[in-house]
Amino acid sequence: MEPRWLDEDELAAWVRLVAVVELLPGILDGQLRRDSGLTHFEYFVLATLSEAPQRTLRMTTLAERTNATLSRLSHVAGRLEERDLVERTPCPADGRATNARLTETGWRALVAAAPGHVENVRRHVIDPLTPRQISQLRAIADALLAGLDPEGRMTSELVRRSPGSAAPPPLGHP
């Protein structure tokens, strides 16, 4: 079967998407490291826990929601635990499982990091777009995620909070 080669417009769109996918993580990570001493993934873990009931999730669920292997998540959770940002405990419902909980120190670190992170997201992703383009970006991301994450592992549990709520804006990304 002959490959379905990309036409000129498809190739241009693809190359630009790849450029965004490659450049944006470094921009997000660099700002967080510089301003908060957190990697973007560490921030993502803390923000994901902040959205959970009692700020606690099973490690397996946290791995799913952050698209991490258990091994990677365990390594990162260990680093966060050393800094008293997260604590891991046996799951009361299943002694074979482990829970991760955002500590008060972790909550304060997240609250402190959130404004700079959200400003960085605004500067590099939101502000360059018109409101119509934001709607289009959401629709495009939804279409792509329908195939990439059909169960909605990474997006179904996100709860958007209003600016006046006690919680920082979760994640600063979709």
Domain count, the chain: 1
Residue span of the structural domain in which 64 resides: 19-148
Whole-number CA gyration radius for the chain? 18
> Which CATH number characterizes residue 99's domain?
1.10.10.10
Strand partners, 58: 99
> Alpha carbon of 59 to those of 19, 74, 104: distances in Å?
32, 8, 19
Q: Residue 172 domain-assigned? A: no
Quote the pLDDT of residue 173: 36
Q: Residue 59 domain-assigned? A: yes
**Predicted TM-score (pTM) of this structure:** 0.86
Q: Residue 1 domain-assigned? A: no
Q: Residue 166 domain-assigned? A: no
What are the tens digits of pLDDT across the range 77-114? 999 999 999 999 999 988 889 999 999 999 999 999 99
Tell me the H-state helices in 56-125.
59-66, 70-82, 104-121
Instruction: Write the burial class of residue 157 (CB in 10 Å: 0-12 exposed, 13-18 middle, 19+ buried).
Output: middle
Q: Residue 156 domain-assigned? A: no
Q: Residue 28 domain-assigned? A: yes
What are the tens digits of pLDDT across the range 51-71? 999 999 999 999 999 999 999
Q: Residue 29 domain-assigned? A: yes
